[in-house]
Structure 1
Amino acid sequence: MVTDAHKDWSEYLPLALWAYRTTRHGTIGVTPFSLVYGVEAVLPAEIEVPTARILLDEARDREAGLQELEEKREVVGSKMEEYHRRLALAYDKHVRPRVFLEGDLVLKSVDAVMRKMSLPKWTPKWEGPYIVSEVHPNGHCILLDPDHGTTTGPINFKYVKKYYA
């Protein structure tokens, strides 16, 4: 389709989009075209030789069509929620929960790492050790610096790792 120069891709983009929009998607079970316009797309061949679908569609009541479109969107919404739920379950199977107890020794990411700033190559990315003074069930903890006797603000578990002395 596209020539060797690969510069005429824009001529074929409308055809590719048409194919994408009129193909039934496995996740939602309908075509994106029908979700937007409420009816299936009329293929160019069906204009010349009317099919039974085209003849029946002309006689269909438009209000019934709008009601059907709303129902179809609700069904697709519930299918998408189910898909996202299954996707989350599959992801959660491979996630290791991080468990910290009060009194554990841990290392904390340096502030530059937490703020996604770049650091020089050989700069340490972890500081500590700290002692876990409070653990909260929503995924953060308060750390105690044993050298200075000060506590940190709440720190997410993703910025803390166990220290093995």
Structure 2
Amino acid sequence: MKKKLDEAKWLWADELPNVLWSIRTTTKNSTGETPFLLAYGAEAVLPVEMCEPTLRVMLFNEDANWEMMKAALDFLPEARGNAALRQQLYKLRMTREYNKRVSRRILKVGDFVLRKMEVVGRANEQGKLTPTWEGPYEIYEEVRDGIYRIQDM
């Protein structure tokens, strides 16, 4: 979207509806459906199809279309549910792919660590430049598997 609007320079306001239309009518990898279909229950007729008639436009029958639209609305919750499942699988695949490159580090007594500061405890006058980590701390005892006690250095 940014690329298209940057190319339009001063005419970005005229180009914006076209860019939004293309986003809404393009099939997304995560859901396998178009946002337009998930919102309205039917595929959109593209403006190009109105200028250059396709078989879909030429064989349009309003009465039959109305009946098919009512029937399609019954299947809309199922289509949305399937899209939600595909989106969860997509996120799981993305997580697995990302985590392939993350190496697990086993901590032991005597290691030095940093502790992430909670957002509530960091509210001070430094704003966004406030440190997000505090420490270093030394691990002096393992309470349970993966739970450690630390002491300030």
TM-score, length basis structure 1: 0.63
Instruction: Report the CA distance between 1:131 and its aligned residue.
Output: 3.8
User: Residue 41 of structure 2 corresponds to which residue in structure 1?
Assistant: 38
Matched, 1:81 2:88: yes
- Answer with 1 or 2: which has the greater Rg: 1
1:27 counterpart letter in structure 2: S
Distance 1:61-1:107 versus aligned 2 partners, 3 A rule: closer
Q: Which one of 121, 127, 136 corresponds to residue 136 of structure 2? A: 127
Structure 1 gaps of 5+ residues are 120-124, 148-165
Q: CA contact under 8 A between 2:8 and 2:15: conserved in structure 1? A: no
Q: How do 1:11-30 residues align onto structure 2 when only pairs under 5 Å count?
A: 11-30=14-33
Query: In 1, are the aligned partners of 2:139 and 2:148 still within 8 Å (CA)?
Result: no
Instruction: Pick the structure with more helix per residue.
Output: 2
AA of the residue aligned to 2:46: L
Cα distance, 1:3–1:68 mapped onto 2, change above 3 Å: closer
The alpha-carbon deviation at position 19 of structure 1 amounts to: 1.3
Q: Report how many residues are paired.
A: 135
Q: Which residue of 2 aligns with 1:117?
A: 130
Residue in structure 2 matched with residue 92 of structure 1 by the alignment? 99
User: Secondary structure at 1:133's aligned position in 2?
Assistant: strand
> Given residue 142 of structure 2, which amino acid in structure 1 is its aligned partner?
E
Unaligned runs of 5+ in 2: 123-128
* Paired residues of 1:135 and 1:142 also in contact (CA < 8 A): yes
Give the share of equivalent positions with the same residue, in percent.
Answer: 29
